Every structure is written in structure tokens, then in C-alpha cells.
Amino acid sequence: MATAARILSAIILALVLIFLIMPIAIVIPISFSPSTIFSFPPTGFSLRWYENIRNADGILRALWLSTQIAGLSTAISLLLGTLCAIAIVRGFIPGGRLVATFMTSPLMIPGLVLGIAMLQAAREIGLRDGYAALLLAHVVVTMPFIMRTVLASLALFDFAMVDAARMLGCSYPAALWRVLVPNILPGFVSGALFAFIVSFDNYPVSIFLVDVRTKTLPIQLLNQLEMSPDPTLAAVATIMVVLTILALLVCDRLVGLKRMAAV
Amino acid sequence: MSGVLSGAPAARPARSRLRFEGDMRGLMALPALLFMGIVFALPLGLLLAKSVQGADGLTLNGYARVLGDAYYRGVIWDSLTLAFRVTLISLLVGYPAAYALARTGGVMQVLLFSLVFLPLTVSIIVKTFGLTIMFRREGILNWLLINTGLTDGPIRFVFTEMSLVIGMVNVFLPFMILPLYSVIRMLDGRYLDAAATLGAGPFTTFRRVVLPLTMPGIVAGSSIVFAISVAAYVTPGLLIGERYMTMSMVMAKAFLNFRDYQLGSAMACVMLVIALSIVFASSFLTRSLEQRGGR
């Protein structure tokens, strides 16, 4: 009976994995299919939908905007978050645990609620610039992910090395930059990649802050999906999946996926 | 002497300089705290304020409309039951899957683990797009069902509650499997041997040993899946749309279409309360489990 349970759970695992991968894998054959309707199994092979991406002006513009927002918000979170994390871990400020909870708390707030709150605040102070509003909001969205990975990395870092650098004549900022930063680089990279993906993929916060001229990729894709669904989307999706897998491989090389999933 | 022990130079001027620097270093946290205070905490406070702001002074009108109206109460109820169904199915499917995953070893485990992890990093738009393709009349699900002889004709999945639940389980299942996996992996196999030695059958062993020991994972996974399901927006929006109204849909419509900010803010605050209750309930449960475990 114990073996029966073991076999059954292995079968369930296999089915679950197929189920999880299926919607991701399905877009790949669709993107190479010559027909305009998504049918399975696909007939023939064509690259027309990939060529079509170039004509889909909105998607390219949205892609560029999303890349900028994700990159900038990750960089700002990384800078502010790391400084704050050092102050927490070293006990420079009172109530470190409380501060850490506060900095990661956007994770507990539903995205739509956050988006609505930001929309109202932006209106209240008269912030009309969609780009600035998006960037500010995405720093909030990415901050918890940076905080978690950086705090975890700092917990393993030996601060005596910073003191040693200080004794050898480094200023405190220089000691952080030349000793601490290289040492916790893997944590930075995995935190930053995760934050980038989270920002890049964010829909519920962005939907309230975009305007006609500034649309992020998820918003543009969803608009397109509702307006005129054709396999161009599958081509874009395939490219995104491939890029994601590449990013994951980089992460795995640097820190290992399991550690990344745990923190 | 304590100065020497803690590594600080014993000379007086040097110590006062260090002291001063220590105070300054506390300022490192300031930019982040200021930023999050202004851009995160303040807007949330404003949202709460807006939800009780009427034309003249304070009013609970928004809440009366959300909680007093049978339609909106129904929407809240539907969102909660949907999240409950998704959580329950994810737990029932995810538990054995996580168990099997934790019990495989070596390279195989790394590979299978990545397959669970990969969907988490792929855009939710891409996944939901894939799901809509799967559910189509001539999609892969019907193709499989017909070719395996399970059904004679195509089943209608598109825009049904069944496809909504299946789709949401698909998107949120990894959030259930990962915490379960990390708890089950820590399970000491000797406990199972001990239970067997003492004459417990597999079922008793599971109920009396495995289940209590993995309860923290069950609590963590279920609370995460419930919290994100109840607030989900993209997946329900694409898979079923307005045929199944959820709180998210009402909020988005109130702000983006009707411009009924009072209603939208009140609904948002109700959702905020639900989300925070889940967080507190799960941390309370986890803590009481830890205490009972004597750790």
C-alpha cells in the first residue's frame, strides 16, 4: 500500500508537470504555424508571425518602455534597498525587524489595491506624467524582492571584512563598494533578476497608471489579445519564454534555483 | 577593555569619531524609508481616507453600498468561494506532487524542480494566453479528449467556470508546491520507520506523523494561493470575463470605466482587509504550530 501511494504520487507529479508546462509550451508550435487560427495540431511551418512583430509598432514600443521601467526600478530598489538592508543587519537603526517587515510589506497588498492607491495619490498631487508614476510604483513593487534577497545575503556576509578594509585605510562607502558588493554579488544578481521579471510582468499595478502613450508590455499584449488575437502574440510570447529560460540559467549558474526559490 | 574586545581603538578621540559615524550610518536607511513612506504607505492611507470621504465630511456610504447591496455581497462571496475552490484543488493535487518531488533524488530532482519553478517566472499574460489556446474548441484539450476516446465531441471550455478554476489552478499551483516541497524535504524518514515499527499502517502514519509535521507547509501554501486567487485579475479577466464577476473586476471597472471612486475605494479596502487577515491568520497558525511542536 505504501508503494501504491508512492507510485500514485509519482503519477500525479508527472501529470502536474505536464499540466504546468502545457500552456507555456503550446505557444511555441502556434507561433510557427502558418494559419491565423490557433489550432492543434498545427499544419506546416512559417516564420510570418515573427516577421510580423516588426510591424506591430505598439508591441515594440511597449517592449522598450517595459525594459526601461523594469531596469530603472530595479536599479533604484537595489540602491535604496541595499543601503537600508545594511542598516538593518548592522543594527544602525532601532526596530530593524519592523523596518524589514515594512519594506517587504508591498508583497502582502493585492496588486490592484496598490495600483488604485497609487492612481489616487498621483491624481491628488497632480502627477500627470505616466512614465514617472509607473517608475515610482514599480520601485515599490520590486523593493520587497530586493530586500528579501539582499537581507538573506547580508546575513551570511562577514562584516569583519568591511572593518578590515576600514583599518587598511578605506573610507566606509569605499569599503562597502570594494568588499561588500563583490561578496554578495550573487545575491544582487538573483534579486535583481527576480525584481526585473516581476516589474516586467506586472499588470495589476500598471493598468491604473498607463496612458495612451505610455503602455507597458503586459498591458499592450492584453489589449492586443482582446482586440485582435493572432499568432503574432504567440511569437512574442515564445521570445519571452526563451529569454526567461536564459535568465533562469544565468541565475542557476550564479546562485542555484533552489536558493532563489527559498529566499 | 571592552573597547579592545569589540575591536574599536581604545583612544578617546577615535572612539567618539566612531560613535558619530555610527549615528550617521543609520541615515543609510533613510532614503528607502522616506521613499516607501511617501510612495507606498501614504497612498494606502489616502485610499482608506477616500473610501470614507463623502461630498460633505465623513461617510460610510461606500461601504454601505458594497456590503449592503446583495449584488456586491454576491461578488465578494463569489470571489471567496472561487479562491477557496482553487486553493483546495491546488492542495489536493499539489501535496502528492510535492511529496513525490521531495522523494526523488539527484539530477532528476533538479530537473523536475526547474519545471515547477519555470512557470513562476514566465509572464502571466503568456500563460493565460496559452490557456485560452488550450481551452479552444479545436485546442489541445479537446484534441486529447477526443483522440483518447474520453469524449465523442468537443467539450465547451471557453468562458466556463470549469476553465476558470482549471486555469487559476494552473497559474497558482507552483505557489502551493514550493512551500510544501521545502517542508516535506525536511521530513526525517526515521519517523516513518518508527511509525511502521510501532505497527502503524500507511494511512495512520500519514495522518498521525506526516500530516502534522508538514502542516506548516500546508498553511503557508494554502494562504499564499488563497491570497493571490482572491485578488487575481488577469486570469479571470481573460478566461471568463464579466460572466463571473470578482472583486478585482468590480474595482477595475469602478476606476477605469464608471469613475465611481467611492465604490472602487471601498471595495479595494474590503479586499485589503481580506488580504491582511489571511497574512495574520497564517502567521498566527504557523506560530501556534511551532509552539505545539515544542520548538
pLDDT at position A17, please?
95
User: Number of Cβ pairs closer than 8 Å across A and B?
Assistant: 261
Q: How far is B105 from chain A (nearest CA, A)?
A: 13
Q: What local confidence, expressed as pLDDT, does residue B57 receive? A: 75
**pLDDT tens digit sequence for B198-224:** 888 888 888 888 888 899 999 999 999
Q: Taking 60 as the threshold, does the pLDDT of residue B243 lie above it?
A: yes
Q: What is the least distance, in Å, from the CA of A213 to any CA of chain B?
A: 16
| pLDDT, position B111 | 86
Tell me the pLDDT tens digit for each residue of A8-18: 999 999 999 99
Identify the CATH class of A57-229: mainly alpha
Burial class (CB in 10 A: 0-12, 13-18, 19+), B25: middle
Instruction: Report how far residue B120's alpha carbon sits from residue B245's, in angstroms, rounded to the nearest whole number.
Output: 26
Q: Cβ–Cβ of A247/B264 closer than 8 Å? A: no
Taking the C-alpha atoms of residue B18 and residue B11, their distance in angstroms, rounded to an integer, is 11
pLDDT of residue B19: 47
Chain A hits for B100, CB-CB cut-off 8 Å, are 6, 9-10, 12-13
- Is residue A261 predicted with pLDDT exceeding 60? no
Q: Answer whether residue A251 shows pLDDT above 80.
A: no
Confidence label for B18 from pLDDT (cuts 50, 70 and 90): very low
Where are chain A's structural domains?
A: 57-229
- Using one digit for the tens of pLDDT, what is the confidence trace for A160-183? 999 999 999 888 889 999 999 888
User: Grid coordinates representing A261?
Assistant: 526559490
The yes/no answer to whether this complex scores an ipTM above 0.90 is: no
**Residue A205 contacts B where some CB pair is shorter than 8 Å:** no
Q: What is the mean pLDDT of residues B276-287?
A: 91
- The rounded mean pLDDT for chain A is 87
Hey, are the CB atoms on A26 and B276 less than 8 Å from each other? no
Considering the entire predicted model, what is its pTM?
0.86
pLDDT value for B121? 81
Nearest CA distance, A187 vs chain B (angstrom): 17
Interface of A with B in 126-165 (CB under 8 A): 136-137, 139-140, 143, 160, 163
The pLDDT score that the predictor gives to residue B7 is 42
Alpha carbons within 13 angstroms on the beta-carbon side of residue A162 total 18
Highest-confidence segment of B54-58, B60-64, B86-90, B160-164: B86-90
Mean pLDDT of A223-240: 82
Q: Which residue of B has its CA nearest to A121?
A: B43
Query: Which chain B residue's Cα is nearest to A209?
Result: B256
Note whether A244 and B122 are within 8 A (CB): yes
Tell if the CB–CB gap between A201 and B124 is shorter than 8 Å. yes
Q: How confident is the model over B29-41, as pLDDT tens digits?
A: 999 999 999 999 9
